[in-house]
Amino acid sequence: MLKKLSISDCPVLECIAEDFHETTDLERIHMYAVGNIKSLPRGIDKLSHLQEISLYNCSNLVACFDEIGLPTTNLIDFTVVICENIVALPKCISNCTSLKKLVVSHCGADRSFSEEGFPINLTSLRIFNAPEIYSSLVEWGFHRLSSLQQLLITGEECSNVVSFPEESIGMRLPPSLTSIRISNFDNLEFMCTKGFQHLTSLEELHITDCPKLTSLPDKHMLLSLGELVIESCPLLTEECRRVKGPEWSKISHIPYVRIDDEYFIPKEVD
């Protein structure tokens, strides 16, 4: 029985099949650089063993998942990367209670999420260059993802975001988080202390390419951190100068810190 369908670097391929009715044991669908395929076969929702859908660089693909459906019982990983004609994630994804990993990167210009909401059992969420999805998540409520452990999000076109989490609207993050990685928030000025107050399991914090960022959460919000990485944040880098920087006291307890190309263990120099 066919377990995995993998198609890559086939720019002239225009069709896979009419439907998936005869391949009900299929577990994985991987498509990479398949330029001319415009739609996926019908019957995806009938693939009860399907665990993973990965679509990379499929420039003409218009995957109408709300018409063809998605399997809701065993789907674990849903990844869509550089698929310009996919402008919205399917409404039915909110019913995928088994979904653990969601990745959306560089898709349609008006990338959006359905009003039905997000799959609440996610443990890993990665959103790149998708401001509409970020805004939808904030409005819907990040904290409702009560199993989320890993959050990676980039802030392209999120010019209104000056704090993370967003202090002005009382944005909350799920206490289950162990890793946060944020980057490319051009107008981000500070990390909101209140937004970190329930993150007692947070082990890893990475902040990259936030040129206006000047401050971190208060030290007592970072006590669980084992790793802090700051890259291309020049104002924050200056504030975190070893010993003398005003933000140094907030990070002096963290076992591993890397700021740009400098690696050091603060405990050894206090």
- pLDDT value, residue 194: 92
Q: Give me the mean pLDDT over the 233-260 stretch.
A: 91
- Cβ atoms of 62 and 39 within 8 Å: the answer is yes
113 and 165 in a single domain? The answer is no
User: How many structural domains comprise the chain?
Assistant: 2
Which one is predicted more confidently, 17 or 189?
Answer: 189
Band of pLDDT at residue 11, cut at 50, 70 and 90: very low
Question: pLDDT tens digit string along 162-207?
Answer: 999 998 888 999 999 999 999 999 999 999 999 998 999 999 999 9
Copy the structure tokens of residue 126.
């990665």
109 and 214 in a single domain? The answer is no
CA distance 89 to 150: 20
Q: Which residue has the tokens 């099949």?
A: 17
Alpha helices by DSSP H, the chain: 65-68, 131-140, 234-239, 248-251
Copy the structure tokens of residue 46.
């009938």
- CATH number, position 53: 3.80.10.10
Which one is predicted more confidently, 54 or 7?
Answer: 54
Question: pLDDT tens digit string along 27-63?
Answer: 888 888 776 777 777 777 788 888 998 888 887 777 6
CA distance 64 to 102: 18
149 and 109 in a single domain? The answer is no
Range of the domain at 153: 145-270
Q: Is the pLDDT of residue 268 over 50?
A: no
What are residue 263's DSSP bridge partners? Answer: 258
**Chain mean pLDDT for the chain:** 83
- pLDDT value, residue 186: 96
**Bridging pattern class, strands 163-164 and 190-191:** parallel
186 and 70 in a single domain? The answer is no
161 and 70 in a single domain? The answer is no
- What lies within 8 Å, CB to CB, of 245 at 6+ separation is 238, 239
Closest CA to 89 of 75, 77, 74, 78: 78
